[in-house]
Chain A
C-alpha cells in the first residue's frame, strides 16, 4: 500500500490507532460537525503494524476534555492520543476505559429511573472486549 502522508498540525490532538471505520464516530464524539472551523484531517483504513488497518484523526487547536476522552474510550478503546504543540508531540497517552462512565451513556432500558428523573447515568464496565456496561441503577447490561 502506498504511504499516505498528511501535513502536520501546529497545535492540537492526533488520535491514532482508531479501529478501522470508526473515525466518523470519533468525530461525533469530539463534537466535530459542519460548524467546526479549525482544521480536521481524517485518514481511514490506513496500514497499521499493530492492528492491520486503522483510522487516524488530526484536529487542530483541540485538547480533549475528560468527558471526551471517556466517550472516545467507548468507540476506540485502544486508541492513542497525541497532544501536539508547535508541531511536536508533547504527550502521548493510550485511551483507558474509566472505572465508571458518568453522564455519558444513556440507559437503553426505557423503564430505568435515569430516563425519567433528573439524574446523571452511571455505568460500570462489565467486560472490556466487547465493551459491556452495567447501569448502576437498573442493573441491566448493554
Chain B
C-alpha cells in the first residue's frame, strides 16, 4: 500500500523515494504555514495518542505540537510510571485498548520491533518515534529534510556520521535512507562503536571508515551522542565517552559552507562554543521535526 491515509510509518525502508519527497513537499507547506501563522486545522476533533514508554524531549514534544497545530487533541504518557505496564500489561494489550480511544498513535519503546508489533495490533495509524536501537523514521525524514533545505539537494553531498554508530538508531536509519540518493559517506567511530555489519552491508553508497575525526571534505558532519543507556558494560562506556568533540578549532579545518547536525540531546560531543558558529544547524534540525511530524501525521490521517 502506498504511503498515505491509514498507513503506518514504522521503518524508513517502508518508504519509497517518491514518498519521501512527497513528505518533504508537505512539510515545506506546513513550515510556510506555521511561519505565516496560517495552519489549517485538518485534524480538528481527532485524538492522537502519544505513548512514550521511554524518555524523550524533542520527539515527544514536536509530535504533540504537530498534532496540536493541526487541531487534534493529544492524550498519552511519558514513561511507564502510573500505567498498567508497571503491573505487567503486555504491549499488545496496551495498544489494543488505547486503539479504542484514539485516531492515531505516536509510539516510542525501548524494545526493537515494538512499533511494528503495535502497528499489527492497532487498526489506526501508528507512527514509530523510536523502537530500541532499530528505527526512528521521522528523525531520519527530518535529517534528510534539513540537508535538503540547507543545500537544496542531497545528491552529491559528502556526509560524515560521527560517534556512536553501533547503538545510534538515527545513524542506522539515516545511512539506509541515503541509499535513495547518491552521496559519499564517512563513518567516524571508535572500533568498539562501529556501524554494525547488518547495516553496513546494506549501505549502497561508497563508505570510508575511519577512527580519525577528519571532516575536511565533508558537507555534513552528523554527530551522535555515545548512548550510555545502551551499554551493558559501563567500563566500556567510560573508555569511549568524549573521544570526539566538535569545537570551533576542529571546524577551522572544515569545508566552507559545511554544517554540523546532531539528533540531540548532546552531552559533550559538540562544544557550546560551536553554537555561535555558522556551521551549527542542530537546533534548526530539531525545529524541522515539527514540520516533518505534521506532514507525516496529516498524510496518515487525511491522505
Would B112 and A119 count as touching, CB distance under 8 A? no
Stretch at the interface among B31-39, B41-49, B113-121, B283-291: B113-121
| CB proximity of B231 to chain A, nearest CB, Å | 13
Beta-carbon contacts under 8 Å, A111-142 to B? 111-114, 116-119, 135-141
B223-250 interface code vs A (CB 8 A; 1 in, 0 out): 0000000000000000000000000000
- With both beta carbons as reference points, the residue of chain A lying nearest to B11 in the complex is identified as A139
A109 proximal to B (CB < 8 A): yes
Would A113 and B198 count as touching, CB distance under 8 A? no
On whether A111 and B92 interact (CB within 8 A), knowing A117-B117, A119-B117, A139-B134, the answer reads no
B133 proximal to A (CB < 8 A): yes
| CB proximity of A38 to chain B, nearest CB, Å | 40
Would B116 and A118 count as touching, CB distance under 8 A? no
Residues of chain B lying within 8 A (CB to CB) of residue A117: 90-92, 111, 114, 117
| CB proximity of B152 to chain A, nearest CB, Å | 32
On whether A112 and B198 interact (CB within 8 A), knowing A117-B117, A136-B116, the answer reads no
Would A140 and B198 count as touching, CB distance under 8 A? yes
- With both beta carbons as reference points, the residue of chain B lying nearest to A116 in the complex is identified as B111
Interface size class of A (residues with CB under 8 A): 10 to 19
Determine the distance from Cα of A138 to Cα of B117 in the docked complex, in whole angstroms.
10
Would A109 and B117 count as touching, CB distance under 8 A? no
On whether A140 and B90 interact (CB within 8 A), knowing A113-B117, A117-B117, A119-B117, the answer reads no
Determine the distance from Cα of A114 to Cα of B111 in the docked complex, in whole angstroms.
9
Q: Select which of A111, A116, A137, A141 is within 8 A of B116 by beta carbon.
A: A137
On whether A111 and B111 interact (CB within 8 A), knowing A117-B91, A137-B116, the answer reads yes
Determine the distance from Cα of A117 to Cα of B111 in the docked complex, in whole angstroms.
10
Would A113 and B114 count as touching, CB distance under 8 A? yes
Determine the distance from Cα of A116 to Cα of B112 in the docked complex, in whole angstroms.
10
B108-152 interface code vs A (CB 8 A; 1 in, 0 out): 011111101100000000000001111100000000000000000
How many residues of B are counted as interface, with CB atoms below 8 angstroms from the partner's CB atoms?
Answer: 19
On whether A140 and B91 interact (CB within 8 A), knowing A113-B117, A117-B117, A119-B117, the answer reads no
Would B132 and A111 count as touching, CB distance under 8 A? yes
Would A113 and B112 count as touching, CB distance under 8 A? yes
Would B112 and A137 count as touching, CB distance under 8 A? yes
Q: Select which of B91, B110, B113, B114 is within 8 A of A139 by beta carbon.
A: B113
Determine the distance from Cα of A113 to Cα of B134 in the docked complex, in whole angstroms.
11
On whether A112 and B90 interact (CB within 8 A), knowing A137-B117, A139-B135, the answer reads no
Residues of chain A lying within 8 A (CB to CB) of residue B132: 111, 138
Beta-carbon contacts under 8 Å, A71-128 to B? 109, 111-114, 116-119
Would B134 and A138 count as touching, CB distance under 8 A? yes
Beta-carbon contacts under 8 Å, B56-93 to A? 90-92
Determine the distance from Cα of A113 to Cα of B111 in the docked complex, in whole angstroms.
5
Determine the distance from Cα of A44 to Cα of B168 in the docked complex, in whole angstroms.
47
Determine the distance from Cα of A118 to Cα of B135 in the docked complex, in whole angstroms.
21
Taking each of B90, B111, B112, which has the highest tally of chain A beta carbons within 10 Å of its own beta carbon?
A: B112
Would A135 and B113 count as touching, CB distance under 8 A? yes
B10-28 interface code vs A (CB 8 A; 1 in, 0 out): 0101000000000000000
| Residues of B in contact with A (beta carbons under 8 Å apart) | 11, 13, 90-92, 109-114, 116-117, 131-135, 198
26 A-B pairs (CB sep. < 8 Å): A109-B112, A111-B111, A111-B132, A111-B133, A112-B111, A112-B112, A112-B113, A113-B111, A113-B113, A113-B116, A113-B117, A114-B113, A116-B111, A118-B92, A136-B116, A137-B112, A137-B116, A137-B117, A138-B132, A138-B134, A139-B11, A139-B13, A139-B113, A139-B134, A139-B135, A140-B112
| Residues of A in contact with B (beta carbons under 8 Å apart) | 109, 111-114, 116-119, 135-141
Given contacts A109-B112, A114-B113, 5 further A-B contacts (CB under 8 A): A113-B111, A113-B113, A113-B131, A138-B132, A139-B11
